[in-house]
Amino acid sequence: MLGRSSGHRVSPLNCYYGGTDRVLPPFTKVIEISERVEVPAAPRIVWDVLSDPHAVVDCVPGAKLGDRLEDGSYDATLTVKFGPAKVTFRAKVALELDGTAMIGHVSSRGRDDQGGTRVKTAMTFKVVAGQEPGSSAVPIDAQVEISGRLASLVESGAALVVKRMTGEFTERLAARCAKASA
């Protein structure tokens, strides 16, 4: 079974962030994303794909992975369509992977290609056995902090963009896992 369930919540402007006492700067939006994708492949196969940054980028529409930097992070770009507008973000992406527990943490910081919008993300995912034998589920939780000129545009289109990108990611991940298990 290939599927996903999702939800996202946009926190109010100038809210406290992540349970800390840090107040967000003006014009900052926080988008919280909670997704669960199901893949018809064994957990180890799904983990092997998700723990390879190049394989993951092939599953994310509009994403490109650049060079690996000295600190182990990567330069990356992501082009996202918000209605008629296309926005390209350039970011530095860091990964922490625990192969034994099959848990990953991804963080990034970047800005759009025009320089007026900044983005900071933190994401956690885990590969677990799915409900069907030989399948996997991947719960994904993320927080996206976006500030600047395009923050309102991004916030207003977040639900549709997340839904579309998650659907495309799930299809590509399932295809890549099927190829890996063949």
C-alpha 32/C-alpha 127 separation (Å) is 20
Instruction: Report yes or no: 163 and 82 within 8 Å, Cβ to Cβ.
Output: no
The domains located in the chain, with CATH, are 3-148 (3.30.530.20)
Instruction: Give Cα 120 to chain centroid, integer Å.
Output: 11
Which residue ranges of the chain lie beneath pLDDT 70?
1-26, 115, 153-155, 157
* pLDDT reported for residue 25: 56
Instruction: Report yes or no: 45 and 181 within 8 Å, Cβ to Cβ.
Output: yes
Query: What are the tokens at 90?
Result: 């350039």
* pLDDT reported for residue 22: 53
Q: What is the mean pLDDT of the chain?
A: 84
Query: What are the tokens at 77?
Result: 């770009």
Specify the 3-state DSSP secondary structure of 139: strand
Query: pLDDT, tens digit, for every residue of 54-107?
Result: 999 999 999 999 999 999 999 999 998 877 778 899 999 999 999 999 999 999
> b or e along 90-124 (b: 16 or more beta carbons within 10 Å of the residue's beta carbon)?
bbebeeebeeeebebebbbebbbeeeebbbbbebe
